[in-house]
Amino acid sequence: MTGVQTLTVDPGESEIRLDRWFKRHFPELIHGRLEKLLRTGQVRVDGKRATAGQRVSTGQVIRVPPLGEAPTEAQPPRPVAARDVSMIRALVLHQDQHMIVLNKPAGLAVQGGTGTPRHLDGMLEALRFDAAERPRLVHRLDRDTSGVFVIARTAAAARFLGDAFRDKTVRKVYWALVVGQPKPRRGKIDSPIAKRATAKGERVVEDEEDGQRAVTWYATVENAGKQASWVAMMPITGRTHQLRVHCGSVLGTPILGDRKYGGSAAFIAELDPDAPLHLHARSIRLPSIGGGTVEVTAPLPLHMREAWSFFGFGETDEDPFAEIDS
């Protein structure tokens, strides 16, 4: 390759590491060479020096210096296993010419990584249907969290939806089963959080000095005495593990099954200790590229339906945040 390139980060690439971004676009570039280009300042992000581990954001401009050899042609997507085609198509809740909304199961990662060969990104070809373009990711959802997940069907839709998520014109409501009873029963959490290395590995923690602002509205819908509570949450910001940290650290009521942020306090003796995290992206409302809005609700997964039944909770369509704009 000759000459310098300037490439813009697409919405579906937001929050991935810079070295993984290069792996996607320039698979022939070995990691050692990339590190040298970074050390010598030849690779730049928005005009500034960069590191392999820093995460990129939608719209950032990456300077790619001459890499010597011509890049290999983009490889065709790997075929999706028949069982995964059936599985992923059965998750579709909404489909139009611009987007697809899935009910993602807990345990399915959105993107791959070390030790994660099976992930949603690797199955997107199965959701192409009759479209000319391969679908694109536009936001994130924790591997352990189930519920509504939006996929763009075209590059234009990806830009539009990426802007909507970034500009906070997307409204998401989550349901969780927490251990204990939040006090007060409803309110607004405005507590900065940051990733930190701990004795138990990397964790997201409260950090008033250096953390990024994280805002969550919450409301207790129903509770089983002091043992457990059904809590609805509407995040205004979209930080990694925000709801899990806000429930466990700020409210003192960890989400059931959250070993990472609740430890032994995140379990109830009468319920299955091996059940997935009880956190579900229940509904989403977002603007449509064709005008108007799209609203989608995802049914609860089996493990949460079983917990709801155990505690005698009944599902409701009432919106506890109807009067909240932001």
Q: What angle do CA 218, 219, 225 make, to 5 degrees?
A: 125
- CA-CA distance, 307 to 197, in Å (whole number)? 33
Residues written for the chain: 326
- CA-CA distance, 182 to 193, in Å (whole number)? 20
Catalytic residue among 142, 163, 272, 319: 142
Active site residue 84: no
Which residues, other chains included, contact 201 with Cβ-Cβ below 8 Å and sequence gap of 6+? none
Closest C-alpha to 173, from 130, 230, 223? 230
Structure tokens at 206: 């409260």
Burial class for 186, CB neighbours closer than 10 Å (0-12, 13-18, 19+): middle
Q: Are the C-beta atoms of residues 110 and 123 closer than 8 Å to each other?
A: no
Q: Are the C-beta atoms of residues 141 and 101 closer than 8 Å to each other?
A: no
Backbone angles phi and psi of 39, in degrees to 5: -60, -35
Which residues, other chains included, contact 152 with Cβ-Cβ below 8 Å and sequence gap of 6+? 11, 12, 98, 99, 135, 136, 137, 138, 158, 160, 161, 162
Backbone angles phi and psi of 151, in degrees to 5: -130, 135
Burial class for 233, CB neighbours closer than 10 Å (0-12, 13-18, 19+): buried
Q: Tell me the torsion sign for CA atoms 193, 195, 198, 201.
A: positive
Q: Which residues are catalytic?
A: 142
